[in-house]
């Protein structure tokens, strides 16, 4: 870029360009160099080279921006209970998400409408589970990472032959798989579909996103698939809490005490009502294993 009759301003811009660490900084100083470049005939070639370099650098910056924008995933905080809906395009994923949660995804008859994960919270008996609609499995936007980390995978299909095609893509997934067959054709032979699914010895449920059939049963199946239990607490002489705490299925009284008091040694006595108690108000120890819908009452020291 050397040339005669370079102004001090040009020389400064050139020095800053050579010291620049980012493309954006280089672009800024290239602009300054073009502005300060001598305008006489002997400098025409130098000016042309500067402009060419400027255009190439700007194109490079734009290309990087587009690549990073396309690859960037929205930040999704994983909740205690997370399920994802996996299926081919137009299988009813968006409809199912809107019916089970508070989410309002775009629902369209056109293929590949969903391009980014859509999150909703599914209420069930005082709890809320995170339900995510993943872009179609045959889409370039399909998010394999979210599927692999989910607790439950809802394999949504409208044709039996699609089940094996989807399962081939779930080799690295660790969540519990539930087949959800969505009846879209009113002439479908439901008995035949049910018999076929039973013969595969897989966990399944038949639903209809148009009529709402099977949705309440699906909510229950999703919750049970999480492998969690709901534990209510109560104070002596009072009613149990309205909302339960969520624990792993093999949790004990000690786990509940530590969650509430952060120190189980504060507990003097524990009384229990519910499925794991032998009788209402049974006194149990800290190592007593709890069951879903148990009610625990603590008396502290």
- In this predicted structure, what is the pLDDT of residue 105? 78
Question: 49 — phi, psi (to 5°)?
Answer: -65, -40
Of 73, 94, 97, 83, which is closest to residue 130 (Cα–Cα)? 83
Q: Is the pLDDT of residue 67 over 60?
A: no
Rounded CA gap, 277 and 272, in Å?
6
Residues 6+ apart with CB under 8 A from 160: 181, 193, 196, 197
| Confidence category of residue 162, pLDDT binned at 50, 70, 90 | very high
- In this predicted structure, what is the pLDDT of residue 106? 74
Of 105-119, 147-161, 257-271, the one with minimum mean pLDDT is 105-119
- In this predicted structure, what is the pLDDT of residue 130? 94
pLDDT > 90 fraction of the chain, expressed in percent and rounded: 49
pLDDT tens-digit series, residues 236-261: 989 999 989 999 999 999 999 999 99
- For the chain, domains (ranges, CATH) are 8-71 (no CATH), 82-225 (3.40.50.300), 228-300 (3.10.20.30)
pLDDT tens-digit series, residues 31-47: 888 888 887 888 888 88
Rounded CA gap, 9 and 12, in Å?
5
């Amino acid at each position: 870029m050397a040339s005669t009759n370079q102004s001090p301003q040009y020389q400064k811009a050139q020095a800053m360009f050579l010291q620049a660490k980012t493309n954006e900084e280089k672009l800024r100083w290239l602009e300054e160099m073009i502005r300060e470049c001598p305008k006489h005939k002997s400098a025409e070639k130098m000016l042309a080279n500067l402009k060419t370099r400027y255009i190439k650098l700007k194109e490079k910056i734009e290309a990087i921006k587009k690549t990073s924008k396309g690859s960037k995933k929205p930040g999704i905080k994983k909740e205690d209970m997370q399920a994802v809906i996996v299926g081919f395009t137009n299988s009813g994923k968006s409809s199912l998400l809107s019916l089970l949660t508070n989410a309002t995804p775009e629902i369209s008859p056109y293929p590949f409408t969903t391009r980014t994960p859509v999150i909703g919270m599914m209420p069930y008996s005082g709890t809320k589970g995170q339900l995510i609609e993943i872009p179609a499995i045959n889409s370039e936007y399909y998010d394999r990472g979210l599927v692999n980390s989910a607790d439950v995978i809802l394999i949504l299909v409208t044709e039996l032959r699609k089940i094996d095609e989807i399962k081939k893509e779930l080799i690295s997934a660790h969540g519990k798989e539930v087949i959800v067959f969505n009846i879209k054709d009113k002439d479908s032979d439901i008995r035949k579909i049910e018999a076929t699914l039973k013969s595969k010895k897989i966990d399944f449920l038949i639903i209809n996103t148009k009529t709402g059939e099977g949705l309440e049963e699906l909510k229950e199946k999703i919750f049970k698939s999480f492998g969690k239990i709901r534990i209510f607490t109560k104070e002596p002489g009072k009613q149990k809490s309205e909302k339960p705490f969520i624990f792993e299925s093999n949790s004990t009284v000690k786990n509940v005490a530590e969650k509430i008091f952060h120190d189980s040694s504060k507990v003097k006595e524990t009384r229990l009502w519910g499925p794991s108690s032998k009788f209402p108000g049974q006194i149990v120890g800290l190592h007593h294993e709890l069951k879903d819908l148990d009610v625990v009452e603590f008396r502290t020291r």
